[in-house]
Amino acid sequence: MARLGENRWGKSDVRVSKILRTESGDDFLDLTVQVLLQGDVEAAHVRGDNRGVLPTDTMKNTVYGLAQEHLNRDLEAFAAVLCDRFLEREGISAADVSVSQLIWNRRGPSGFVGGGSERRLGRVVAGTNAGVWAGVDGLVVLKTTGSAFAGFPRDEFTLLPETDERILATSVKAVWRYSATPADTTATWETAREAMIESFMGEHSESVQHQGWMMAEALLGAIPEIEEVDFRLPNQHHLSYDLSRFGIEDEHTVFQPVSQPYGDIGFIVSR
């Protein structure tokens, strides 16, 4: 006999933007929101009875309907407001709201420069498996010195030469879970981001894994409320281009960026 397992439904890629008017000028928020719900909807799956299924269009409209009053620079607070609203519905046992903010930098009182890869992340789960997360995605960092990779195992397919000096570049995705939500989540996020950047730029690493560990230590040291952090560090390769083939003395300053394939390093660090 068939039996329904764990399930969820929701609305993804809900785009919402908002102007925050301040005395010093405007702030601009550009968000993508995902809402996922869990609840007693077995009847919808098994018998086609939709009385317990909140429409995903309602979820989308709830994001817009609550944005004017509740959306500000505290992403986690807005996600929590949405979660609370959905949990008020009969039969909803958990609400999971994730927010991704595109970074715009203000130029003048009402102008902005943005459109890069970096995103600020926030996530709140209310009800079952409750928790608060924050993070950054698409934070591209590069350094031209201070990174090595040597002492790795070799076999007949290993062509990579060892090096004590190389370009290290990555697009950081780091998502951390709070044991307690900070009073100012925006200031906390800015501190966390700066701690990771300073560690990346300032500490010599023996591998991407070593670099990531030091960044995690810096993050945990800077923010006592962080319980654990999940890193993904894809290695953006810049391969030395051999100019000696052209009869040119190679000073090892010219490289070929290679987007694919790439090393993909992931790990979790907790207290």
Kindly calculate the radius of gyration of the chain based on its CA atoms and give it in whole angstroms. Answer: 23
The 10 Å Cβ neighbour count of residue 63 is 22
27 secondary structure, DSSP code: E
Question: Which listed residue (32, 56, 58, 186) is catalytic?
Answer: 56
Which of 135, 118, 125, 145 minimizes the C-alpha distance to 219?
Answer: 135
Give Cβ neighbours of residue 218 (< 8 Å, ≥ 6 apart). 195, 196, 198, 199
11 is catalytic: yes
CA distance 162 to 229: 30
Question: Which listed residue (62, 170, 173, 237) is catalytic?
Answer: 237
Question: Which listed residue (11, 170, 173, 188) is catalytic?
Answer: 11
Which of 220, 205, 189 minimizes the C-alpha distance to 99?
Answer: 189
56 is catalytic: yes
Label the pairing between strands 111-127 and 255-270. Answer: unpaired
Q: What are phi and psi of 57, to 5 degrees?
A: -65, -35
Which residues are tagged catalytic?
Answer: 11, 56, 237
